[in-house]
A and B are shown apart, each in its own frame.
Chain A
Amino acid sequence: MDKELMKAMAHRAGLDKALAEFPDDVAAAAAQAASVMAKIRTPSDPRAEPWPAMRAGDGL
Protein backbone atom coordinates (compact mmCIF):
# COMPACT_ATOMS: atom_id res chain seq x y z
CA MET A 1 0.00 0.00 0.00
CA ASP A 2 1.24 3.49 -0.89
CA LYS A 3 2.66 5.22 2.21
CA GLU A 4 0.56 8.36 1.82
CA LEU A 5 -2.60 6.31 1.34
CA MET A 6 -1.73 4.25 4.41
CA LYS A 7 -1.26 7.42 6.47
CA ALA A 8 -4.55 8.87 5.20
CA MET A 9 -6.42 5.68 6.05
CA ALA A 10 -4.81 5.49 9.48
CA HIS A 11 -5.79 9.11 10.13
CA ARG A 12 -9.35 8.41 8.99
CA ALA A 13 -9.48 5.47 11.41
CA GLY A 14 -8.28 7.67 14.27
CA LEU A 15 -4.90 5.94 14.57
CA ASP A 16 -2.81 9.14 14.72
CA LYS A 17 -1.37 8.23 18.12
CA ALA A 18 -0.43 4.74 16.96
CA LEU A 19 1.02 6.17 13.76
CA ALA A 20 3.19 8.56 15.77
CA GLU A 21 4.34 6.03 18.36
CA PHE A 22 4.37 2.75 16.40
CA PRO A 23 4.67 3.59 12.69
CA ASP A 24 6.11 0.17 11.79
CA ASP A 25 3.17 -1.62 13.42
CA VAL A 26 0.62 0.54 11.60
CA ALA A 27 2.43 -0.06 8.30
CA ALA A 28 2.54 -3.81 8.95
CA ALA A 29 -1.19 -3.86 9.73
CA ALA A 30 -1.98 -1.92 6.56
CA ALA A 31 0.17 -4.27 4.47
CA GLN A 32 -1.62 -7.30 5.93
CA ALA A 33 -5.02 -5.84 5.07
CA ALA A 34 -3.93 -4.91 1.57
CA SER A 35 -2.73 -8.40 0.70
CA VAL A 36 -5.42 -10.54 2.27
CA MET A 37 -8.33 -9.78 -0.07
CA ALA A 38 -6.28 -10.92 -3.09
CA LYS A 39 -6.45 -14.45 -1.66
CA ILE A 40 -10.26 -14.58 -1.60
CA ARG A 41 -12.13 -15.61 -4.75
CA THR A 42 -14.93 -13.34 -5.84
CA PRO A 43 -18.15 -15.20 -5.00
CA SER A 44 -19.50 -16.72 -8.18
CA ASP A 45 -23.04 -15.38 -7.81
CA PRO A 46 -23.33 -11.64 -7.04
CA ARG A 47 -26.84 -12.24 -5.71
CA ALA A 48 -25.66 -14.77 -3.12
CA GLU A 49 -26.45 -13.89 0.49
CA PRO A 50 -23.59 -13.49 2.95
CA TRP A 51 -23.65 -15.77 5.98
CA PRO A 52 -25.46 -15.45 8.29
CA ALA A 53 -28.59 -14.14 6.69
CA MET A 54 -30.81 -11.67 8.54
CA ARG A 55 -33.63 -13.40 10.40
CA ALA A 56 -36.76 -11.73 11.67
CA GLY A 57 -37.70 -12.09 15.31
CA ASP A 58 -35.34 -12.52 18.22
CA GLY A 59 -33.25 -15.09 16.35
CA LEU A 60 -32.76 -17.23 19.43
Chain B
Amino acid sequence: MNAGIEARHGHLHYMTVTDAAHAIAAKELSPVELMQAHLARIEKLDPRLNAFIRLDGEAALAVAKVAEAEATAGRLRGPLHGIPVGIKDIIDVAGLPTTCHSKVLEGNMATADAVCVSKLRAAGAIVVGKLSTHEFAIGGPSFDLPWPPARNPWNPDHHPGGSSSGSGSGVAAGLFPMALGTDTGGSVRNPASCCGIVGLKPTYGLVSRRGVFPLSFTLDHIGPMTRTVADNALMLEAIAGHDPLDPGSAAVPTGRYRAALGRGAKGLRIGFVRHFHEVDMPAEPEVTAALEHVMRALQMLGADVRDIKLPSLVEFAAVNRVILQSEAWAIHGEWLRTRPGDYGKLARRRLMPGAFLGAGDYVTANKRRAEMIAAVNAALGEVDVLLCASSMDPACRIDRPAEVERTYPRQARTPFNVTGHPALAMMAGLSSGGLPLSVQFVARNFDEAMLFRVARAWEHASGMDKKHPTIG
Protein backbone atom coordinates (compact mmCIF):
# COMPACT_ATOMS: atom_id res chain seq x y z
CA MET B 1 0.00 0.00 0.00
CA ASN B 2 2.79 2.31 1.07
CA ALA B 3 4.78 2.25 -2.20
CA GLY B 4 1.78 3.16 -4.36
CA ILE B 5 0.81 6.05 -2.12
CA GLU B 6 4.39 7.34 -2.03
CA ALA B 7 4.66 7.09 -5.81
CA ARG B 8 1.68 9.43 -6.11
CA HIS B 9 2.22 11.74 -3.13
CA GLY B 10 5.92 11.56 -2.26
CA HIS B 11 7.15 10.61 1.20
CA LEU B 12 4.38 9.84 3.69
CA HIS B 13 5.86 12.36 6.12
CA TYR B 14 5.31 15.15 3.60
CA MET B 15 1.83 14.02 2.55
CA THR B 16 -0.73 16.76 3.08
CA VAL B 17 -3.54 16.40 5.58
CA THR B 18 -6.06 16.58 2.74
CA ASP B 19 -4.40 13.81 0.69
CA ALA B 20 -3.79 11.57 3.70
CA ALA B 21 -7.39 11.93 4.88
CA HIS B 22 -8.68 11.07 1.39
CA ALA B 23 -6.33 8.08 1.15
CA ILE B 24 -7.43 6.77 4.56
CA ALA B 25 -11.10 7.21 3.68
CA ALA B 26 -10.49 5.35 0.41
CA LYS B 27 -8.70 2.55 2.34
CA GLU B 28 -5.54 3.21 0.33
CA LEU B 29 -3.56 4.24 3.41
CA SER B 30 -3.57 2.84 6.91
CA PRO B 31 -3.49 5.24 9.88
CA VAL B 32 -0.89 2.88 11.40
CA GLU B 33 1.42 3.23 8.39
CA LEU B 34 0.99 6.99 8.45
CA MET B 35 1.73 7.16 12.18
CA GLN B 36 4.73 4.84 11.88
CA ALA B 37 6.18 7.00 9.09
CA HIS B 38 5.90 10.08 11.29
CA LEU B 39 7.27 8.35 14.39
CA ALA B 40 10.29 7.20 12.36
CA ARG B 41 10.77 10.76 11.14
CA ILE B 42 10.54 12.04 14.72
CA GLU B 43 13.07 9.49 15.94
CA LYS B 44 15.45 10.53 13.17
CA LEU B 45 15.14 14.30 13.35
CA ASP B 46 13.83 15.42 16.72
CA PRO B 47 17.18 15.00 18.49
CA ARG B 48 18.35 17.86 16.22
CA LEU B 49 15.14 19.91 16.23
CA ASN B 50 13.80 19.59 19.81
CA ALA B 51 10.24 20.08 18.59
CA PHE B 52 8.88 17.84 21.35
CA ILE B 53 8.74 18.33 25.08
CA ARG B 54 6.85 15.09 25.47
CA LEU B 55 6.44 12.51 22.70
CA ASP B 56 3.48 10.18 23.31
CA GLY B 57 4.36 7.74 20.54
CA GLU B 58 3.12 4.49 22.04
CA ALA B 59 -0.28 5.92 22.85
CA ALA B 60 -0.48 7.52 19.40
CA LEU B 61 0.29 4.20 17.73
CA ALA B 62 -2.34 2.44 19.84
CA VAL B 63 -4.95 5.00 18.80
CA ALA B 64 -3.82 4.63 15.17
CA LYS B 65 -4.52 0.90 15.38
CA VAL B 66 -8.06 1.62 16.58
CA ALA B 67 -8.42 4.17 13.78
CA GLU B 68 -7.22 1.58 11.28
CA ALA B 69 -9.84 -0.93 12.45
CA GLU B 70 -12.53 1.74 12.26
CA ALA B 71 -11.45 2.79 8.75
CA THR B 72 -11.40 -0.83 7.59
CA ALA B 73 -14.96 -1.19 8.87
CA GLY B 74 -15.94 1.99 7.04
CA ARG B 75 -16.46 4.01 10.21
CA LEU B 76 -14.64 7.34 10.01
CA ARG B 77 -14.76 9.61 13.04
CA GLY B 78 -14.49 12.72 10.92
CA PRO B 79 -12.52 14.53 8.21
CA LEU B 80 -9.20 14.14 10.08
CA HIS B 81 -9.53 10.40 10.74
CA GLY B 82 -6.10 8.96 11.51
CA ILE B 83 -4.12 12.19 10.98
CA PRO B 84 -1.29 12.88 13.48
CA VAL B 85 -1.33 16.25 15.23
CA GLY B 86 1.16 17.97 17.55
CA ILE B 87 -0.04 20.18 20.41
CA LYS B 88 1.79 23.23 21.77
CA ASP B 89 2.57 22.63 25.42
CA ILE B 90 0.42 25.40 26.82
CA ILE B 91 -2.69 23.51 25.61
CA ASP B 92 -4.15 20.78 27.82
CA VAL B 93 -4.15 17.17 26.65
CA ALA B 94 -5.77 14.84 29.19
CA GLY B 95 -3.24 12.60 30.93
CA LEU B 96 -0.19 14.56 29.82
CA PRO B 97 1.58 17.40 31.65
CA THR B 98 1.05 20.98 30.47
CA THR B 99 4.42 22.48 31.37
CA CYS B 100 4.34 25.69 29.32
CA HIS B 101 8.04 24.82 28.79
CA SER B 102 8.70 26.08 32.32
CA LYS B 103 10.08 24.75 35.56
CA VAL B 104 7.18 26.60 37.20
CA LEU B 105 4.69 24.03 35.85
CA GLU B 106 6.90 20.96 35.54
CA GLY B 107 4.67 17.93 36.20
CA ASN B 108 1.43 19.94 35.93
CA MET B 109 -0.88 17.12 34.81
CA ALA B 110 -3.90 17.98 32.64
CA THR B 111 -7.06 16.17 33.64
CA ALA B 112 -9.10 17.08 30.56
CA ASP B 113 -8.52 18.03 26.94
CA ALA B 114 -8.69 21.66 25.93
CA VAL B 115 -11.76 22.28 23.77
CA CYS B 116 -9.64 22.63 20.62
CA VAL B 117 -7.98 19.25 21.33
CA SER B 118 -11.26 17.50 21.99
CA LYS B 119 -12.62 18.91 18.71
CA LEU B 120 -9.57 17.59 16.84
CA ARG B 121 -10.03 14.17 18.42
CA ALA B 122 -13.73 14.22 17.51
CA ALA B 123 -12.69 14.87 13.91
CA GLY B 124 -10.44 11.79 14.08
CA ALA B 125 -7.00 13.38 14.65
CA ILE B 126 -4.44 11.55 16.79
CA VAL B 127 -2.31 13.47 19.31
CA VAL B 128 1.39 12.62 18.91
CA GLY B 129 2.69 14.68 21.82
CA LYS B 130 3.34 18.07 23.40
CA LEU B 131 5.50 20.61 21.64
CA SER B 132 8.17 23.12 22.59
CA THR B 133 7.18 26.73 23.12
CA HIS B 134 8.84 29.86 24.39
CA GLU B 135 8.34 29.78 28.16
CA PHE B 136 4.68 30.59 28.91
CA ALA B 137 4.41 31.61 25.24
CA ILE B 138 6.32 34.81 25.86
CA GLY B 139 10.03 34.13 26.51
CA GLY B 140 12.21 33.46 23.52
CA PRO B 141 14.67 30.82 22.38
CA SER B 142 16.17 30.00 25.81
CA PHE B 143 18.88 27.68 27.06
CA ASP B 144 18.12 28.08 30.79
CA LEU B 145 14.90 26.03 30.87
CA PRO B 146 14.31 22.34 31.68
CA TRP B 147 14.01 21.54 27.94
CA PRO B 148 16.11 22.88 25.03
CA PRO B 149 14.61 25.32 22.50
CA ALA B 150 13.25 24.06 19.18
CA ARG B 151 15.35 24.69 16.09
CA ASN B 152 14.63 25.61 12.49
CA PRO B 153 14.60 22.63 10.08
CA TRP B 154 15.75 24.87 7.20
CA ASN B 155 18.94 25.41 9.20
CA PRO B 156 19.13 24.06 12.77
CA ASP B 157 21.65 26.77 13.70
CA HIS B 158 18.77 29.26 13.35
CA HIS B 159 15.69 29.76 15.52
CA PRO B 160 12.29 28.58 14.24
CA GLY B 161 10.37 31.60 15.53
CA GLY B 162 7.94 31.40 18.39
CA SER B 163 6.36 31.10 20.64
CA SER B 164 4.77 28.07 18.91
CA SER B 165 8.30 26.99 18.02
CA GLY B 166 7.94 23.21 18.17
CA SER B 167 4.72 23.45 16.15
CA GLY B 168 6.42 25.38 13.35
CA SER B 169 9.58 23.31 13.34
CA GLY B 170 7.77 19.97 13.42
CA VAL B 171 5.23 20.77 10.69
CA ALA B 172 7.95 22.08 8.36
CA ALA B 173 10.19 19.05 8.98
CA GLY B 174 7.43 16.49 8.45
CA LEU B 175 7.31 15.28 12.05
CA PHE B 176 3.52 15.73 11.89
CA PRO B 177 1.35 17.28 9.17
CA MET B 178 -0.53 19.69 11.42
CA ALA B 179 -0.18 21.33 14.81
CA LEU B 180 -1.95 23.68 17.17
CA GLY B 181 -0.30 26.94 18.12
CA THR B 182 -1.33 30.00 20.07
CA ASP B 183 -0.94 33.64 19.09
CA THR B 184 -0.95 36.63 21.48
CA GLY B 185 1.59 38.85 19.72
CA GLY B 186 2.16 36.77 16.59
CA SER B 187 3.13 33.36 18.00
CA VAL B 188 1.44 31.22 15.35
CA ARG B 189 2.48 33.47 12.48
CA ASN B 190 6.10 33.95 13.58
CA PRO B 191 7.07 30.26 13.40
CA ALA B 192 4.97 29.91 10.25
CA SER B 193 7.04 32.74 8.76
CA CYS B 194 10.39 31.42 9.96
CA CYS B 195 9.69 27.80 8.99
CA GLY B 196 7.92 28.40 5.66
CA ILE B 197 4.53 26.92 6.53
CA VAL B 198 0.97 28.28 6.80
CA GLY B 199 -0.11 29.72 10.16
CA LEU B 200 -3.49 31.26 10.89
CA LYS B 201 -4.54 33.49 13.75
CA PRO B 202 -8.32 33.22 13.45
CA THR B 203 -10.71 36.01 14.37
CA TYR B 204 -10.81 36.57 18.13
CA GLY B 205 -13.51 34.33 19.58
CA LEU B 206 -13.70 31.86 16.69
CA VAL B 207 -11.73 29.10 18.47
CA SER B 208 -12.34 28.38 22.15
CA ARG B 209 -9.50 29.25 24.55
CA ARG B 210 -10.79 26.94 27.27
CA GLY B 211 -8.07 24.58 28.47
CA VAL B 212 -5.24 26.76 27.14
CA PHE B 213 -2.93 28.43 29.67
CA PRO B 214 -3.57 32.17 29.27
CA LEU B 215 -1.01 34.85 28.52
CA SER B 216 -3.38 37.75 27.83
CA PHE B 217 -7.14 37.27 27.93
CA THR B 218 -7.72 40.11 25.49
CA LEU B 219 -5.15 39.04 22.92
CA ASP B 220 -4.92 35.22 23.05
CA HIS B 221 -5.93 33.21 19.99
CA ILE B 222 -5.53 29.51 19.09
CA GLY B 223 -4.68 28.71 15.48
CA PRO B 224 -3.90 25.92 13.00
CA MET B 225 -0.42 25.37 11.56
CA THR B 226 -0.01 23.26 8.42
CA ARG B 227 2.06 22.99 5.25
CA THR B 228 -0.72 23.97 2.86
CA VAL B 229 -3.56 26.46 2.78
CA ALA B 230 -6.19 23.77 2.14
CA ASP B 231 -4.97 21.80 5.16
CA ASN B 232 -5.18 24.93 7.29
CA ALA B 233 -8.79 25.51 6.25
CA LEU B 234 -9.61 21.86 6.93
CA MET B 235 -8.08 22.06 10.41
CA LEU B 236 -9.91 25.30 11.16
CA GLU B 237 -13.20 23.66 10.22
CA ALA B 238 -12.48 21.09 12.95
CA ILE B 239 -11.60 23.51 15.77
CA ALA B 240 -13.83 26.55 15.15
CA GLY B 241 -17.11 26.92 17.00
CA HIS B 242 -18.91 28.65 19.82
CA ASP B 243 -18.06 27.62 23.38
CA PRO B 244 -20.53 28.96 25.94
CA LEU B 245 -17.96 28.45 28.71
CA ASP B 246 -15.32 30.70 27.07
CA PRO B 247 -16.33 34.32 27.83
CA GLY B 248 -14.60 35.53 24.63
CA SER B 249 -16.21 32.97 22.36
CA ALA B 250 -18.30 34.26 19.47
CA ALA B 251 -21.59 32.69 18.43
CA VAL B 252 -21.16 32.86 14.66
CA PRO B 253 -21.73 30.39 11.83
CA THR B 254 -18.63 28.30 11.10
CA GLY B 255 -17.48 25.44 8.94
CA ARG B 256 -17.19 26.42 5.28
CA TYR B 257 -13.61 27.65 5.14
CA ARG B 258 -12.64 25.63 2.05
CA ALA B 259 -15.55 26.90 -0.04
CA ALA B 260 -13.64 29.67 -1.84
CA LEU B 261 -10.23 27.97 -2.08
CA GLY B 262 -10.25 27.57 -5.84
CA ARG B 263 -11.75 30.93 -6.79
CA GLY B 264 -8.42 32.67 -7.41
CA ALA B 265 -7.57 36.33 -6.95
CA LYS B 266 -9.38 37.78 -9.97
CA GLY B 267 -11.47 40.77 -9.00
CA LEU B 268 -10.21 40.90 -5.41
CA ARG B 269 -9.44 44.33 -3.97
CA ILE B 270 -6.20 44.08 -2.01
CA GLY B 271 -4.81 46.80 0.27
CA PHE B 272 -1.01 46.78 0.47
CA VAL B 273 0.16 48.16 3.84
CA ARG B 274 3.56 49.30 2.63
CA HIS B 275 4.36 51.70 5.44
CA PHE B 276 4.69 48.83 7.92
CA HIS B 277 7.84 47.52 6.22
CA GLU B 278 8.99 50.60 4.29
CA VAL B 279 8.67 53.33 6.95
CA ASP B 280 7.68 52.05 10.41
CA MET B 281 10.17 49.16 10.59
CA PRO B 282 12.25 49.04 7.39
CA ALA B 283 12.55 45.41 6.32
CA GLU B 284 15.55 43.57 4.97
CA PRO B 285 15.73 44.15 1.18
CA GLU B 286 15.04 40.48 0.48
CA VAL B 287 11.82 40.70 2.48
CA THR B 288 10.74 43.85 0.65
CA ALA B 289 11.49 42.22 -2.71
CA ALA B 290 9.51 39.12 -1.75
CA LEU B 291 6.49 41.23 -0.75
CA GLU B 292 6.63 43.13 -4.06
CA HIS B 293 6.79 39.79 -5.85
CA VAL B 294 3.68 38.51 -4.06
CA MET B 295 1.87 41.76 -4.81
CA ARG B 296 2.75 41.61 -8.53
CA ALA B 297 1.79 37.93 -8.75
CA LEU B 298 -1.65 38.70 -7.32
CA GLN B 299 -2.00 41.63 -9.75
CA MET B 300 -1.15 39.26 -12.60
CA LEU B 301 -3.93 36.99 -11.37
CA GLY B 302 -6.40 39.84 -11.72
CA ALA B 303 -6.42 41.45 -8.26
CA ASP B 304 -6.74 45.22 -7.90
CA VAL B 305 -3.96 46.27 -5.50
CA ARG B 306 -3.83 49.70 -3.86
CA ASP B 307 -1.87 51.18 -0.97
CA ILE B 308 -3.58 51.36 2.42
CA LYS B 309 -2.55 53.37 5.49
CA LEU B 310 -3.07 52.13 9.05
CA PRO B 311 -1.83 53.48 12.39
CA SER B 312 1.91 53.15 12.94
CA LEU B 313 3.31 49.70 13.58
CA VAL B 314 5.30 51.05 16.53
CA GLU B 315 2.11 52.21 18.22
CA PHE B 316 0.29 48.94 17.50
CA ALA B 317 3.20 47.12 19.16
CA ALA B 318 3.08 49.43 22.19
CA VAL B 319 -0.67 48.94 22.67
CA ASN B 320 -0.20 45.18 22.36
CA ARG B 321 2.61 45.24 24.92
CA VAL B 322 0.76 47.31 27.53
CA ILE B 323 -2.34 45.12 27.37
CA LEU B 324 -0.36 41.88 27.23
CA GLN B 325 2.03 42.74 30.06
CA SER B 326 -0.73 44.11 32.30
CA GLU B 327 -2.81 40.98 31.93
CA ALA B 328 0.20 38.63 32.12
CA TRP B 329 1.25 40.28 35.39
CA ALA B 330 -2.19 39.55 36.80
CA ILE B 331 -1.60 35.88 35.90
CA HIS B 332 2.07 35.50 36.89
CA GLY B 333 2.45 38.07 39.67
CA GLU B 334 2.26 35.64 42.58
CA TRP B 335 4.79 33.22 41.07
CA LEU B 336 7.14 36.09 40.17
CA ARG B 337 6.97 37.34 43.76
CA THR B 338 7.66 33.96 45.38
CA ARG B 339 9.73 31.92 42.89
CA PRO B 340 11.31 34.25 40.31
CA GLY B 341 14.22 31.85 39.91
CA ASP B 342 11.95 29.18 38.46
CA TYR B 343 11.48 31.34 35.33
CA GLY B 344 14.09 31.65 32.60
CA LYS B 345 15.67 35.06 32.15
CA LEU B 346 13.73 36.04 29.02
CA ALA B 347 10.30 35.20 30.43
CA ARG B 348 11.13 36.90 33.74
CA ARG B 349 12.06 40.09 31.92
CA ARG B 350 8.99 40.00 29.70
CA LEU B 351 6.46 39.16 32.41
CA MET B 352 7.55 41.67 35.08
CA PRO B 353 6.92 44.98 33.24
CA GLY B 354 3.26 44.70 34.18
CA ALA B 355 4.29 45.42 37.78
CA PHE B 356 5.41 48.88 36.65
CA LEU B 357 2.37 49.78 34.52
CA GLY B 358 -0.60 51.61 36.02
CA ALA B 359 -4.31 50.97 35.68
CA GLY B 360 -4.57 54.18 33.68
CA ASP B 361 -1.96 52.88 31.22
CA TYR B 362 -4.03 49.75 30.67
CA VAL B 363 -7.25 51.70 30.09
CA THR B 364 -5.51 54.17 27.77
CA ALA B 365 -4.12 51.28 25.70
CA ASN B 366 -7.61 49.81 25.45
CA LYS B 367 -9.06 53.17 24.39
CA ARG B 368 -6.46 53.39 21.59
CA ARG B 369 -7.26 49.79 20.78
CA ALA B 370 -10.86 50.78 20.09
CA GLU B 371 -9.61 53.45 17.65
CA MET B 372 -7.26 50.96 16.01
CA ILE B 373 -10.09 48.46 15.51
CA ALA B 374 -12.08 51.23 13.83
CA ALA B 375 -9.11 52.09 11.58
CA VAL B 376 -8.66 48.49 10.39
CA ASN B 377 -12.42 48.07 9.92
CA ALA B 378 -12.44 51.25 7.81
CA ALA B 379 -9.55 49.97 5.67
CA LEU B 380 -11.35 46.67 5.17
CA GLY B 381 -14.39 48.63 4.06
CA GLU B 382 -12.38 49.77 1.03
CA VAL B 383 -10.73 46.44 0.18
CA ASP B 384 -11.40 42.72 0.59
CA VAL B 385 -8.08 41.78 2.12
CA LEU B 386 -4.88 43.41 3.37
CA LEU B 387 -1.39 42.31 2.30
CA CYS B 388 1.56 43.21 4.53
CA ALA B 389 4.80 41.98 5.99
CA SER B 390 4.93 39.37 8.71
CA SER B 391 8.64 39.26 9.72
CA MET B 392 11.05 42.01 8.64
CA ASP B 393 14.01 39.61 8.63
CA PRO B 394 14.64 35.91 8.01
CA ALA B 395 15.31 33.89 11.18
CA CYS B 396 18.72 34.64 12.71
CA ARG B 397 21.08 32.23 14.43
CA ILE B 398 19.67 30.85 17.67
CA ASP B 399 22.98 31.29 19.51
CA ARG B 400 23.13 35.07 18.98
CA PRO B 401 20.94 36.48 21.79
CA ALA B 402 21.56 40.11 20.82
CA GLU B 403 20.46 39.43 17.24
CA VAL B 404 17.41 37.50 18.46
CA GLU B 405 16.54 40.43 20.74
CA ARG B 406 16.96 42.91 17.84
CA THR B 407 14.98 41.02 15.21
CA TYR B 408 12.14 39.45 17.21
CA PRO B 409 10.18 42.70 17.64
CA ARG B 410 10.69 43.60 13.94
CA GLN B 411 7.35 42.21 12.82
CA ALA B 412 3.86 43.28 11.72
CA ARG B 413 1.75 40.65 13.47
CA THR B 414 0.79 42.41 16.71
CA PRO B 415 -1.66 44.82 15.01
CA PHE B 416 -4.11 42.01 14.42
CA ASN B 417 -3.90 40.67 17.96
CA VAL B 418 -4.83 44.19 19.03
CA THR B 419 -7.77 44.39 16.61
CA GLY B 420 -8.80 40.71 16.57
CA HIS B 421 -8.98 40.46 12.76
CA PRO B 422 -8.04 37.12 11.16
CA ALA B 423 -4.47 37.04 9.81
CA LEU B 424 -2.55 34.35 7.96
CA ALA B 425 1.23 34.14 7.42
CA MET B 426 2.90 31.94 4.83
CA MET B 427 6.05 31.60 2.75
CA ALA B 428 6.80 34.30 0.20
CA GLY B 429 10.12 32.89 -0.99
CA LEU B 430 13.58 31.90 0.22
CA SER B 431 16.41 34.19 1.26
CA SER B 432 19.86 33.98 -0.29
CA GLY B 433 20.80 32.06 2.86
CA GLY B 434 18.11 29.45 2.18
CA LEU B 435 15.70 30.56 4.91
CA PRO B 436 11.98 31.24 4.43
CA LEU B 437 10.68 34.76 3.79
CA SER B 438 7.06 35.52 4.57
CA VAL B 439 3.91 37.43 3.71
CA GLN B 440 0.77 38.11 5.75
CA PHE B 441 -2.85 38.46 4.66
CA VAL B 442 -5.60 40.01 6.83
CA ALA B 443 -9.37 39.91 6.31
CA ARG B 444 -12.59 41.15 7.84
CA ASN B 445 -13.74 39.58 11.08
CA PHE B 446 -14.89 35.98 10.58
CA ASP B 447 -14.03 36.08 6.86
CA GLU B 448 -11.34 33.39 7.08
CA ALA B 449 -12.66 31.98 3.79
CA MET B 450 -11.43 35.15 2.06
CA LEU B 451 -8.00 34.73 3.65
CA PHE B 452 -7.76 31.16 2.44
CA ARG B 453 -8.87 32.23 -1.04
CA VAL B 454 -6.12 34.79 -1.53
CA ALA B 455 -3.51 32.65 0.23
CA ARG B 456 -4.36 29.68 -2.00
CA ALA B 457 -4.12 31.90 -5.09
CA TRP B 458 -0.57 32.88 -4.10
CA GLU B 459 0.34 29.32 -3.10
CA HIS B 460 -0.94 27.93 -6.40
CA ALA B 461 0.88 30.58 -8.46
CA SER B 462 4.16 30.22 -6.57
CA GLY B 463 4.31 26.53 -5.67
CA MET B 464 5.32 27.43 -2.11
CA ASP B 465 3.56 24.32 -0.78
CA LYS B 466 6.05 22.16 -2.69
CA LYS B 467 9.10 23.60 -0.91
CA HIS B 468 10.46 21.64 2.05
CA PRO B 469 13.63 21.91 4.09
CA THR B 470 16.39 19.58 2.95
CA ILE B 471 17.03 18.28 6.48
CA GLY B 472 16.92 14.48 6.73
Select from chain A the residue with minimum beta-carbon distance to B325. Answer: A33
Q: Is the CB of B338 within 8 A of A17?
A: yes
Q: In the assembled complex, how far is the CB of residue A1 from the closest CB belonging to chain B, in whole angstroms?
A: 8
The contact of B355 among A15, A39, A48, by CB within 8 Å, is: A15
The contact of B361 among A15, A37, A49, by CB within 8 Å, is: A37
The contact of A59 among B247, B364, B366, B369, by CB within 8 Å, is: B247
Give chain B's interface secondary structure class: helix
Asked, given contacts A39-B315, A51-B366, whether A21 binds B340 with beta carbons under 8 Å apart, the answer is yes
Q: Is the CB of B364 within 8 A of A37?
A: yes
Q: Is the CB of B364 within 8 A of A40?
A: yes
B244: chain A residues at CB < 8 Å are: 60
Quick one: CB contact mask for B311-327 with A, threshold 8 Å, 1 for yes?
A: 00011011101100100
Number of cross-chain contacts by CB at 8 Å: 111
Stretch among B43-51, B146-154, B344-352 lining the A interface = B344-352
Quick one: CB contact mask for A21-60 with B, threshold 8 Å, 1 for yes?
A: 1100110111011101101111110001111000000011
The contact of B318 among A13, A17, A40, A49, by CB within 8 Å, is: A40
The contact of B345 among A14, A25, A33, A60, by CB within 8 Å, is: A25
Select from chain A the residue with minimum beta-carbon distance to B354. Answer: A33
The range of chain B's interface size is 35 or more
Q: Is the CB of A22 within 8 A of B319?
A: no
Q: Is the CB of B340 within 8 A of A36?
A: no
30 A-B contacts, Cβ less than 8 Å apart? A6-B356, A9-B356, A14-B337, A15-B340, A17-B340, A18-B336, A18-B340, A21-B341, A22-B345, A25-B340, A25-B345, A25-B352, A26-B352, A29-B348, A29-B350, A29-B351, A29-B352, A32-B325, A33-B357, A37-B318, A37-B357, A40-B322, A41-B315, A42-B364, A43-B370, A43-B371, A44-B371, A48-B367, A51-B370, A60-B251
Interface of A with B (CB < 8 Å)?
Answer: 1, 6, 9-10, 13-15, 17-18, 21-22, 25-26, 28-30, 32-34, 36-37, 39-44, 48-51, 59-60
